[in-house]
Chain A
Amino acid sequence: MRSRNDPTANRRPRHSSLFLRLLGSLVASLILFSPSAHPDYPDKPIKIIIPTNTGGEVDTLARIFQRALREHDIIPEKTVILNLPGAGGTLGTRKIKESPPDGYTIGLWTPGIVTSKTMGIVNYDHSDFQIIGRTGFSELALGALDSSSYNTIETLIARSKANPRSVKVATNIGLPVHFTPLMFSEAAGIEFNFVQTGGGSKRLASILGKHTDMSLFSLLEFIKFGSTGLKPLVMLSEERSQHFPDIPTAKELGIDLVMHDARIWIAPKATPPDRIEYLANALKQVMALPEIKEEFNSLGINNHFGEPDEINQFLNTLSERVAPLVAKARQR
C-alpha cells in the first residue's frame, strides 16, 4: 500500500479542478491513513538553509532541486531557500542545528561540516544532525597547469621530497579543500606550502596566473578549463576516470586516499524518522527525473543517492583522518 507519506501520493495533474483535488485528498486520507505516518506533513513551507551566498555552487544545486520539486509537484508545499552565509558555513549549519526538529527546516552542506569542528570553529559535527542523504557527488583530483614544471605527479612528489615546501598549493585554509591535499602529502611523506586563496574561482585564477602550483578541483573543472592548460595530476577516485585515462589514482601510487565532493542534506538531530524518509524520497524522485539526470551530467555530478548510513560512515572516517592533522593545518 502506498503510504500517504510517499510524495508520489500527492502528485496530481496540474490543472485539476478544486473539487477533484478535494475529493482526491479526502479519499487518499481515508484509504491511506496509517497511524505511524504524519498524514499532515508537510502542511506548511519547508525551509532549506544554505550556508553560502546566492549563486554559490551549493546554492545553485539547492535551487535546481527547488525548481524540480515545484515543477513536478513532488512536495505539495513550497520550499523556501534561506541563505545564511558566513564563517565557513558555520552560521548556517548552527542555525539548522538549532531549528525545531519538525522536518520544516533542513539544509544542504558539504563535508566541511566535519572540518569546521576539527578546526575548533564550532563544537558540533555531522553526528549532531540527522543526515537525510547525499544527492550525488563529484570526483576530485589534484591538478596543475600543463605548462608548469610539475606536469606529472611523480615529478611533483620527487621534487617535493628533495625540496620540501617547494610546491605551493592554493587552498581555503581549514576546509576540505585544505585537508584533502594535506592528507595526500602526509600519506606520500611530503610537505606542501599551503597558500590561502579562497573559493574555487579564486584558486583557479591563482593557478592560471602561476602564483601557486597546484590545487584541488572537481573533475568537471578539469574538463571545463582543459582549454586553459589545467590538467589533473592525480585522481582521488577509486578508479581512473574515463575522461583522463592516463592519469593515475592516488591508490595506484600507494597513497590511501579516496575523496569526493559531496552535497549532503541535513536536518536537526531529533527530526522524526518518517519525515526524514519522506524528504529522502522526494530528493530521490528529483534525481530520477530525466532533465535532472542531464543537468547533473553537465555539472559533473555522479547521479547516485547516498543513504544516511553510508554518509555517516564517510564523514566518520574523514573526521578520524583529519583530526591528527589539525596541528599541521593550524601551523600558520
Chain B
Amino acid sequence: MEILDAFQHVLSPYPLLWIVVGVAGGIFVGAIPGLGGGMLMALTVPLTFSMDSSTNAVLLLMGMHVGSVSGGLISATLLKMPGTPSAMMTTLDGYPMAQNGAPGKALSLGIGASLFGGIISGVFLIALAPPLSDFAHKFGPWEYFTMVLMAMVLIASITQGSMLKGLMAAMLGLMAAMPGLNESDGQLRLTYGFESLDDGFNLLPVLLGIFVMSQIIKDALEINKKGISIAMSKTERLFPKFGEWKKHSLNIVRSSCIGTWVGILPGIGASISSMVAYGIAKTFSKTPKKFGTGHEEGIVAAESANNANAGGALIPLITMGIPGAPVDAILLGAMIMHQVQPGPLLFQTNGDLVWSLMTGYIVANIVMFLIMVFSARHLAKVININRAYLIPIVFAFCMIGAYGPSNRMFDVWVVIGFGVVGYFLDRAKFPLGPFVIGYVLAGIMEAELRSGLQMSEGSFAPMVTQPIAATFTTISVLFLGYSLFQEWRSRRPTLPTDASSE
C-alpha cells in the first residue's frame, strides 16, 4: 500500500520535524498582518538547497503554506485585522464574537473548521485528484464568469446596515480594481501617465490598507480610551467538542467542497473561496440575519473553505504540474530547482514525492490543529495587550509585508492611502467588506467576461447555452428574484403604496 508507506514516511522523525517547523513558521507569519506564507516560502526556497532530500524540502514549504492559511484567523478574530488575505471573511464574524466576550470560542471554531477543511480537501486530494483535475478543465471563461457572478449575487446581502452604502462601497472597490495594464487588450488604463500605477493596485496592499491600516488609524486615534478588557475564563474549553460540530457538519462539508473546488481552478485565490462559501452558507442558513454579528456559521464557512482551498490547489499541481495558486507556483519552482520536473508524469517519475506530499498535507493540517489549539489560550491574550504596544509592531510588519512581494515603495503608499480611505469610509458607516469584495471580484469578472466575449465573438449566449454556465446563471437569477420578492413582501404591509421610497 503506497499510501500507508507514505504515511509511515511522513511520520518518521525527519519529515515530521520539517512539517512541524514549516507549520509553526507558517502560523507565525500568517498571524502577522502583512507577512504571509508566500513571502516565507520564497525566502525559504534558497535555504532548502542544502537539504539532501527534495521530499523534505517540499514538506517544509507545504507545511508553511498550511500554517499560514490557518494563522491568519488569529489576528482576524482578535484584532479585526486579517493576517492573510484568505482570512478576510473571518473578520466579519470572528471579531464580533471575540468582542462579545468569547474570543476563545471564536478561535476554537476557526481552528476546528480549518482542520476539517484541510482534512476534507486532503481526502479529495488523495482519492479524486485526477478526475477532479480533468473536470476543472471544463471550466472556461464563461463558467468562471457565471460562477463569480453567482458568488457576487449571493454575497450582495452581506452588507450590514444601509444597502445603499453597501452598494456604494462595492462600487468604490470596483473602481479601485480598474487602473493598470488591462490584460484583455494589453493596454494601460486610467494610469494618467503615472508609471507606478501601470500594474494598478495589488491585492495585498489594498487589503492591508482597507482592513489593517484603517484599523490601526482607528485604534491610534482612540488610544487613550480605556479598551474593553475581555477576560477569557479559565474554564473555557478550547479543544473543540466534536459533539458540538454535528450542527455544523453540513456547513463544513459544503464549504470544504467549495474551497477545494475553487482551489483547483487556477488563478482564483483563497479569499474568493471563503467569499463563495460564506455567501452560500448565508443563503442556506436558517438565521441569515445573524451573519456578520459574530455568528458561528460564518466563521466555520470561511475557515473551512480557505483551508480546503490549499488542498484543492495542490490537485492541479500534482496531476498536471499546473500551480493552482501563487504559493503553489513557489512550490513548483522549488521542485524544479530540486531537479524534480512537475507535470502529468510526476506520479510515475516521482511517485514517492507525490504520495509524501499528499499524506504530508493531511499530517500538516493535524499538526496545525494541535499547535493552534494548545497555543490558543495564550494567543487570545493578544486581545488584552495595550494597543499602544501592539500598533507600532503591526504597523511595521504591515509596511514590510506591503514592500516585500514586489520590492517597491509604491505598494507602501497604497497601504497608507487605502488605510486613510478605509478609515473615513468606516467612520461614515460605509461597510468595508463590500468594498474589498467589489475590488477582488471585479477584476476577475471583467477578465473572464472579456475572454468569454472574445471566444464567442461578442455574444452573451454562452451564459445560457453552456450547461455549467447556465446552471450558475439560473441560480443567480433565481436568487436575485427571490431576494427581491422577499424584500417586496416584507415591505408591503408597512408601505403599501410606496415601496420604492428610501
Contacts and interface: CB of A to CB of B under 8 A. Distances in A.
B457 A165 contact: yes
B331 A196 contact: no
Contacts of A63: 45-46, 333, 337
A198 B198 contact: no
B266 A56 contact: no
Nearest to B142: A211
Interface in A174-228: 174-175, 178, 193-198, 201-202, 204-206, 208-212, 224-225, 227-228
B406 A86 contact: yes
B187 interface: yes
A55 B329 contact: yes
A55 B344 contact: no
A86 B195 CA distance: 11
Given A91-B198, A196-B451, A225-B343, A202 B184 contact: no
A159 B41 CA distance: 48
A55 B186 CA distance: 23
A223 B185 CA distance: 31
A84 interface: yes
Nearest to B191: A87
Interface in B309-367: 316, 320-323, 326, 328-334, 336-337, 339, 341, 343-345
Contacts of A206: 140
Contacts of A201: 266, 316, 320-323
The size class of the interface chain B forms with chain A is 35 or more
Contacts of A194: 454
A298 B185 CA distance: 34
A85 to B, nearest CB: 6
Contacts of B406: 83-86, 91
A195 B333 contact: no
Contact of A119 (B139, B186, B199): B186
Contact of B183 (A91, A172, A205, A208): A172
Interface centre among A54, A120, A178, A194 (most CB of B within 10 A): A54
B49 A67 contact: yes
B467 interface: no
B181 interface: yes
Interface string A150-185: 000000000000000100100011110010000000
A53 B186 contact: no
A59 interface: yes
Contacts of A172: 183
Interface string B21-44: 000000000000000001001100
Interface in B123-151: 136-141
A94 to B, nearest CB: 7
Top 5 nearest A-B pairs (CB, nearest first) are A174-B186, A86-B199, A55-B329, A209-B137, A211-B140
17 contacts: A53-B405, A54-B329, A54-B333, A55-B329, A83-B405, A83-B407, A87-B180, A91-B196, A193-B457, A196-B185, A196-B447, A202-B267, A205-B137, A208-B137, A224-B343, A227-B344, A299-B341
